[in-house]
């Protein structure tokens, strides 16, 4: 039997030991994090304050921004703090929290992307029944189901991982607590658990992906029947960004969780991890919302009101 010891903390590797590169990593992640915060908070604020955007599509976008804020806040601030303070440690409880909440937000986000595909299908293929099917109660239930799937999926994976004894090492070759790296540290046989986790994840991902593909096959079939070219372009413009984000999330996440676990992650492995964990929360506001004319108009109105209130306050104080 291997000599097991109680692990109270982990060491997060992944980036350089050179102090200058640690500072560069901190600056890059700081800019990325602030941009993601500003972009997603603007989307949430604009959608909640403008009554013209109180529709199912924008309701789902606001919830997606909440999930994006959660997912990037789980891993980036800790990584920034470690680089700034020149430390690598994370507590056992902190590692458990990272795994649980990252899986929660990412899984709920992917479930929400599946719901958004259904929303686009109803809007384009059954426009006369859209308001009846996508009513306020149905939308709330869909969002609640996405969160529930995220909680259940995350609890299963987190419990499955941290019920294992860790004795080989406490060094994680990543910049956050990642399940494949944690399974590598276990002193028990993890093959069955890895296989079960992989099969369960593939079933969930493929099920959602198949639903999205079927929805878009019917969407594109309906769009090609639209006689007006302008109408077809408008319909496509609401679908293409969604497909880009789904493809990016599936490809980067699939590569990160199905590749062999190396002792020292090469630059491409780190890049793939950054792509699926950091880039989507940063890019989603741009891809989904900032290219949307209604969002842009609402944002301009919000900024105008803020400038007006600031000017009025200045006049009052003067």
pLDDT surpasses 80 at 235: no
Q: Where are the beta strands (DSSP E) in 77-225?
A: 89-91, 171-172
Higher pLDDT, residue 191 or 26: 26
- Tell me how far CA of residue 31 lies from CA of 16, 80, 126, in angstroms: 19, 11, 42
Task: Give counts: helices (H), strands (E), the chain.
Answer: 11, 3
Within a domain: 10: no
Lowest-confidence segment of 63-67, 143-147, 278-282 by average pLDDT = 278-282
Per-residue model confidence as pLDDT tens digits over 97-142? 999 999 999 999 999 999 999 998 998 888 889 999 999 999 999 9
Q: For residue 165, what are its two tokens?
A: 């004894």
Of 143, 145, 123, 124, give the one whose Cα is nearest residue 133. Answer: 123
Q: List CB contacts of 39: < 8 A, sequence separation 6 or more.
A: 282, 284, 285, 286, 290
Instruction: Answer for the pair 26, 83: CB distance below 8 angstroms, yes or no.
Output: yes
The model's pLDDT over 244-266, given as tens digits with 9 standing for 90+, comes to 778 777 776 666 666 655 554 55
Q: Is residue 182 part of a domain?
A: yes
Cα–Cα distance list, 134 to 51, 84, 127, 150 (Å): 17, 47, 11, 22
> Cα–Cα distance between 154 and 101 in angstroms, integer?
7
Question: Could you tell me the two tokens for 166?
Answer: 């860790």
Average pLDDT value for the chain: 83
Among 16-25, 132-141, 236-245, 296-305, the least confident range: 236-245
Query: Does residue 5 lie within any of the structural domains?
Result: no
Beta strands in 136-214 (DSSP E): 171-172
Show the tokens assigned to 183.
């399974």
Which residues, in sequence order, are bridge partners of residue 186?
A: 166
Strands 9-12 and 89-91: antiparallel
Asked whether the predicted pLDDT for residue 224 surpasses 80, the reply is yes
User: What global pTM score does this model have?
Assistant: 0.86
Flag whether pLDDT at 272 surpasses 90.
no
More confident residue, 272 or 161: 161
6 in any annotated domain: no
Structure tokens at 272: 């793939």
Is the residue at 141 inside a domain? Answer: yes
* Number of domains comprising the chain: 1
Closest CA to 83 of 172, 171, 20, 37: 20
Domain that holds residue 197: 16-317
* CATH number, domain containing residue 188: 1.20.1070.10
Q: Which of 67, 65, 74, 72 is nearest to 100 (CA)?
A: 74
Q: What is the DSSP letter of 262?
A: P
User: In this structure, is residue 162 part of a structural domain?
Assistant: yes
Distant-in-sequence, close-in-space partners of 257: CB < 8 Å, separation ≥ 6: 179, 180, 198, 201
pLDDT band for position 44 (cuts 50, 70, 90): very high
Distance CA 23, CA 80 (A): 9
Mean pLDDT of 294-307: 80
In a domain, 41, yes or no: yes
Does residue 9 form part of some domain? no
pLDDT score, position 1: 43
Q: Kindly indicate the confidence band of residue 284, based on its pLDDT and cuts at 50, 70 and 90.
A: confident
Q: What is the pLDDT of residues 147-200, one digit of tens each?
A: 999 999 999 889 888 888 887 678 888 889 888 788 888 777 666 766 777 777
Radius of gyration from C-alpha coordinates of the chain? 22
Kindly state the helix (H) or strand (E) to which residue 299 belongs, with its residue range. helix 293-317
């Amino acid at each position: 039997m291997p000599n097991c010891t109680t692990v109270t903390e982990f060491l997060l590797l992944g980036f350089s030991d050179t102090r200058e590169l640690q500072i560069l990593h901190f600056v890059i992640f700081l800019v990325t994090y602030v941009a993601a915060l500003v972009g997603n908070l603007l989307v949430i604020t604009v959608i909640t304050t403008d009554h013209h955007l109180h529709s199912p599509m924008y309701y789902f976008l606001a919830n997606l921004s909440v999930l994006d804020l959660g997912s990037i806040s789980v891993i980036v601030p800790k990584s920034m703090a470690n680089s700034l303070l020149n430390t690598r440690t994370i507590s056992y409880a902190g590692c458990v929290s990272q795994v649980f909440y990252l899986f929660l937000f990412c899984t709920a986000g992917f479930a929400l992307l599946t719901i958004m595909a259904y929303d686009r299908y109803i809007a384009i293929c059954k426009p006369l029944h859209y308001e009846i099917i996508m009513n306020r109660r149905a939308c709330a239930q869909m969002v609640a189901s996405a969160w529930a799937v995220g909680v259940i999926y995350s609890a299963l994976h987190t419990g499955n991982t941290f019920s294992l004894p860790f004795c080989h090492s406490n060094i994680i070759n990543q910049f956050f607590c990642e399940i494949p790296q944690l399974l590598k540290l276990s002193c028990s046989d993890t093959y069955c658990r890895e296989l079960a986790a992989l099969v369960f994840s593939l079933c969930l991902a493929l099920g959602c992906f198949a639903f999205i593909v079927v929805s878009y096959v019917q969407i594109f079939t309906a769009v090609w029947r639209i006689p007006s070219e302008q109408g077809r372009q408008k319909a496509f413009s609401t679908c293409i960004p969604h497909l880009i984000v789904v493809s990016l999330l599936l490809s980067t996440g699939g590569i990160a969780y199905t590749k062999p676990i190396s002792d020292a992650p090469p630059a491409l492995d780190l890049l793939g991890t950054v792509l699926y964990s950091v880039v989507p929360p940063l890019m989603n506001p741009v891809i989904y919302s900032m290219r949307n004319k209604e969002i842009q108009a609402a944002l301009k109105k919000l900024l105008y009101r803020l400038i007006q209130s600031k000017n009025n306050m200045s006049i009052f104080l003067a």
